[in-house]
Amino acid sequence: MPLTTEEMNGVLVVTIHEKALDASSVKQFKTDMTPVLEHAKLVIFDLSQLEFVDSSGLGAILSCLRQLTGKGGDLKLCGMTKPVRALFELVRMHRIFDILNTREEALHTIRR
Amino acid sequence: MSTKTAEFRLAPGIAESTKVQQRFLSTFGQVALPLAKAEDLAVAVVFAGESHWLTFNLTCTCLKASFGRIPCFRPAGASLTCYSMKFPVVLEGSDNGEVVVCGKPGQQAIIQAFHSLIASASYQCSLERNMDSLITELTASWESLSAVYEISAFIQDKQMVEQVPTVLEHIINRATNGGPNLQAVLWLLNPAGDSLEPVAAKTSRILKTRSTGFGLLGKVIGSKQSLLLTSREDIRGCTELEAEFSKAVNLAVVPLRARKRELGAIALWSEDECAFFDTGTLRFLETLAVQSSMLLENNRLYQEILATERLHQEIEIGHTIQKTLLFSAPPANLSGVQVAARTLPSQMIDGDFYDFIVHNETCFDIVVGDVMGKGIPAALVGAATKDHFLRAHHELVNSSAQPAVNGPAAVVAEVHQKVVPQLIQLERFVTIHYGQFDLQHKRFTFVDCGHTQTVHFHYRTGICDLLEGDNLPIGVTHTEQYHQFEVGFEPGDVFFFYSDGITEARNPEGNFFGATRLVKIIRESFQNTTSGLIDEIFKELQAFAQNQVFADDLTCVAVKIGFDDWPSLRVNRVIELSSDLVELARVRAFVAELCAVQGFKEVAEEVEIQLKLALVELVTNLIKHGYQEEPGHQMTLEASRSGTQVVFELFHQGLPFDRAEVREPVFDGSQGHGFGLFIIESCLDEVVYGSLDEGKSFVRLVRNLD
């Protein structure tokens, strides 16, 4: 799973360069995220290239949130496409996550 | 009469006297001759210059020679002493003349007495003449009356009009009964009025049809005046004399007329010197002419009634042809389109026709045509042409290896091959609009052969296009290349096909209904059903024409593209999947492709997302739990789509699934799993798990689209 990360003012912005995050790709995502989550506390996921997320993808993202909040960190989501948002709303996860339109907004609102 | 005038001698080379002159001679002679004989006087009666009548002069024979020239009656150098006097004779018109009396000197008193003799004879003569004409008139009237009675009785005996020639023969016989050796012919003008035909005759002469406008017959018919000729000289003197009259001594010709129309003429003549025609004869012949004219006119009216009845019958037959052969019922089972067709028959029979050829659930053809001309022949040509379209369609389908749908140009070209030689021979041609609706690709393709412009109403913009091709009507040329044109359409669009009877309907002022009015109604009434739209158009047409019946048939077909009420349209897709999670991308592509199939109302983006989610969750569950992520197993995903519903059926041989074992999901973020089934059930209207034989199972998912 191609992920790119960039550090901005102590916040790690992770961009997922993938069209779909589903059962077929979620394992790789989890593997790739493990070292990222070990070092970072404040993470922003840029989901703007992701066109499809299924329940397992959502589960993986939820797992990231739990890990980060568990160690006093935070996770913000931004750039969410319409199909992805549809899933989040379907399983009411839009209430659990902070979902922001742009990376800038996410950076602005993340707790430091 | 002849015995009394026997004492007068006709000088050689002198013209015959008229009837009036003869009557005078006879009356005058009765007293003048005995006196002349007794007194030995020479008496000459002179009429019209050259005509001399002489008594025998017993004593003055020397004068005989001199009497040859009355104008120089008193010879200047006469050696004998004589006395002569000249008295005027006043009869009537041009019949005035002179009486010259010649005697010896001393006979003056006697000679002068002739004056009163002449006056008395003149008077006697006029009395006789009046009496004669009265008798003639009475006789003629009686003749006419008896002829009328006789002919009427004859007509009553006959089946009237059926027997016109017989009655005319009878009239001719009646005309020739009036005297010995009479000949008569009844001539009738042909309908074009350019030739005369002998229809009844009693004559020894040979008669042939002849052109009108010359001869005595031409003169009589042209002048509408009867003609009576009573001397051989008068008859021979006529220009362009008909051959049959060349030996006639007496001739009467009377025109036949009815309602100010010339019908022909009747001629009666005699070659016998003894026969004598007069105004009575003419009256009699005129009476027969009136009888003949009435008979012919009655017959014409009767034929007209028959023709009207025949026309009605023809219309009946025509309407039967139309109902059974020219118009097919519009297809009712097409998905997503409404088709209505109607024709309002006119007083005449037209060759309008329409037909529909349904290729499959999403493709059908429509053909509307109009045969030039009217009547049963036009209707039959229409029926035959219509039939050829269906045949052409079948032949093209059968001859091609693949069951492809042929385009309009191919079909029309095939029909052209079959019908054009006959159409050209029959001197008929047919205007055609042949169109093909492809509902799946939303394309309308057409060939237009000189037909009216088809109206295409665009629902989205409210604009009407008039569709027109560039071909000539079928049957005009042997070598026509047919061109097809293509336009797109969208849900709600209306196509209106029609015969020129609609746009060329006229109001009382003579204006055409026109395409502009038609377009206006369509733009205003597009929300109606197709049948309601046609109602509206016909209502407006009748209001415009201020009439319920039209000169031409009004024929039209309306097609309306529906929105989503296409329940019978169904597209089926199948995909084989292996038990590998990499197949999930194919599952999404499969759903996307199904949602993008043309010919349906668009699937909302949300729905497409939900269908993708549900299918991905289902396939994931099956691979993970049904097959325990063991690769190499096959699943079959079948999908079918209609206008209102999408149905997926996934057939597999994985472990059966027990819905009851699945726990409800937790939405507080504490659990990252357990959402799959919830997603599937949220996104679909119906989820059924079933098992088949031999360890096969299926899951059926239904999503309604409204």
pLDDT at B198 over 80: yes
Cβ-Cβ contacts under 8 Å between A and B: the total is 74
Residue type, B219: K
Stated pTM of the model: 0.42
Q: Of the candidates A83, A86, A91, which has its C-beta nearest B665's C-beta?
A: A91
- Report the largest interatomic distance among the alpha carbons of chain B, rounded to a whole angstrom: 182
Q: Cβ separation of B612 and A52 shorter than 8 Å?
A: yes
Q: Cβ separation of A20 and B584 shorter than 8 Å?
A: yes
Q: Of the candidates A24, A58, A86, which has its C-beta nearest B606's C-beta?
A: A86
pLDDT at B666 over 80: yes
pLDDT at B533 over 60: yes
Reply yes or no on domain B158-302 having CATH 3.30.450.40: yes
Reply yes or no on domain B4-133 having CATH 2.30.30: no
Q: What is the pLDDT of residue B16?
A: 53
Q: What is the pLDDT of residue A57?
A: 94
pLDDT average, residue stretch B176-190: 87
- Give chain B positions within 8 Å (CB) of A58: 672, 675
Return the residue matching tokens 């070598």. Answer: B479
Q: How far is CA B607 from CA B584, B604, B611, B642, B676, in A?
A: 18, 5, 6, 15, 17
Concatenate the DSSP letters of all residues of B396-465 into one string. Answer: HHHHSSS-PPPPHHHHHHHHHHHHHHHHHHHT--EEEEEEEEETTTTEEEEEEEB-PPEEEE-TTT--EE
- Give chain A positions within 8 Å (CB) of B588: 20, 52
CATH topology identical between B158-302 and B570-704: no
Domain boundaries, chain A: 3-107
The top-level CATH class assigned to B327-561 is: alpha beta
CB B162 within 8 A of CB B129: no
pLDDT average, residue stretch B236-247: 86
Q: What is the pLDDT of residue B60?
A: 39
- Give chain B positions within 8 Å (CB) of A86: 606, 609-610, 613
For chain B, give percent helix, strand, coil, nearest 5. 40, 25, 30
In a 13 Å sphere around the CA of B431, the CA atoms on its Cβ side amount to 18
Pick the closest to residue B265 from B359, B334, B201 (CA basis): B201
Q: Rounded to a whole number, what is the distance in angstroms from the first to the last CA of chain B?
A: 121
pLDDT average, residue stretch B555-584: 81
Q: Of the candidates B606, B609, B617, which has its C-beta nearest A55's C-beta?
A: B617
Q: What is the pLDDT of residue B288?
A: 87
Cross-strand pairs, B649: B638, B700
Q: What is the pLDDT of residue A102?
A: 93
Contacts 24+ apart (CB under 8 A), B390-393: B390/B355, B390/B357, B391/B418, B392/B418, B393/B357, B393/B365
- Give chain B positions within 8 Å (CB) of A87: 609, 613, 679
Residue B127: band (very low, low, confident or very high) from pLDDT cuts 50, 70, 90: confident
β-strands B97-103, B494-498 pairing? unpaired
Phi, psi for residue B393 in degrees, rounded to 5:
-60, -50
Cα–Cα distance, B104 to B111 (Å, whole number): 10
Q: Cβ separation of A87 and B613 shorter than 8 Å?
A: yes
Q: Cβ separation of A55 and B675 shorter than 8 Å?
A: yes
Of residues B505 and B93, more confidently modeled: B505
Of residues B641 and B578, more confidently modeled: B578
Q: What is the pLDDT of residues B454-505, one digit of tens each?
A: 999 998 888 899 999 999 999 888 888 999 999 999 888 999 999 998 999 9
Residue B76: band (very low, low, confident or very high) from pLDDT cuts 50, 70, 90: very low
Q: How far is B604 from chain A (nearest CA, A)?
A: 12
- Give chain B positions within 8 Å (CB) of A66: 669, 672
Cα–Cα distance, B545 to B346 (Å, whole number): 13
Q: Cβ separation of A22 and B581 shorter than 8 Å?
A: yes
CB proximity A93 to B under 8 Å: yes
Domain boundaries, chain B: 4-133, 158-302, 327-561, 570-704
Q: What is the pLDDT of residues B621-657, one digit of tens each?
A: 999 999 999 999 999 999 988 777 899 999 999 888 8
Q: Where are the beta strands (DSSP E) in B137-220?
A: 182-189, 195-202, 210-211
Q: What is the mean pLDDT of chain B?
A: 81
Residue B155: band (very low, low, confident or very high) from pLDDT cuts 50, 70, 90: low
Return the residue matching tokens 């899951």. Answer: B699
Q: Cβ separation of B616 and A23 shorter than 8 Å?
A: yes
Of residues B210 and A12, more confidently modeled: A12
Cα–Cα distance, B542 to B558 (Å, whole number): 19
Phi, psi for residue B161 in degrees, rounded to 5:
-60, -25
Q: How far is B562 from chain A (nearest CA, A)?
A: 30
ipTM, two decimals = 0.94
Reply yes or no on domain B570-704 having CATH 3.90.1640.30: no
C-alpha torsion B534→B535→B541→B542, nearest 10: 150
Q: How far is B698 from chain A (nearest CA, A)?
A: 21
Of residues B243 and B78, more confidently modeled: B243
Helices (H), A21-110: 26-39, 55-70, 82-90, 103-109
Q: How far is B667 from chain A (nearest CA, A)?
A: 6
Q: Cβ separation of A91 and B588 shorter than 8 Å?
A: no
Q: What is the pLDDT of residue B187?
A: 92
Concatenate the DSSP letters of all residues of B595-661 into one string. Answer: HT-TTSPPPPHHHHHHHHHHHHHHHHHIIIIISTT-TT-EEEEEEEEESSEEEEEEEE-S----GGG
Q: How far is B466 from chain A (nearest CA, A)?
A: 42
Handedness of CA A43, A44, A49, A50 (dihedral sign): positive
Q: How far is B491 from chain A (nearest CA, A)?
A: 27
Q: Cβ separation of A86 and B610 shorter than 8 Å?
A: yes
CB B39 within 8 A of CB B57: no
Residue B267: band (very low, low, confident or very high) from pLDDT cuts 50, 70, 90: very high
Cα–Cα distance, A110 to A101 (Å, whole number): 13
Return the residue matching tokens 């029309």. Answer: B412
Return the residue matching tokens 């009747």. Answer: B266
Structure tokens at B549: 């019946």
Q: How far is B690 from chain A (nearest CA, A)?
A: 24
- Give chain B positions within 8 Å (CB) of A20: 584-585, 588
Cα–Cα distance, B23 to B25 (Å, whole number): 5
CB B440 within 8 A of CB B334: no
Q: What is the pLDDT of residue B340?
A: 92
Q: What is the pLDDT of residues B375-388, one digit of tens each?
A: 778 888 888 888 88
Kind plus residue range of the DSSP H or E element containing B294: helix B279-321
Cα–Cα distance, B42 to B35 (Å, whole number): 10
Superfamily of domain A3-107: STAS domain (3.30.750.24)
pLDDT at B51 over 70: no
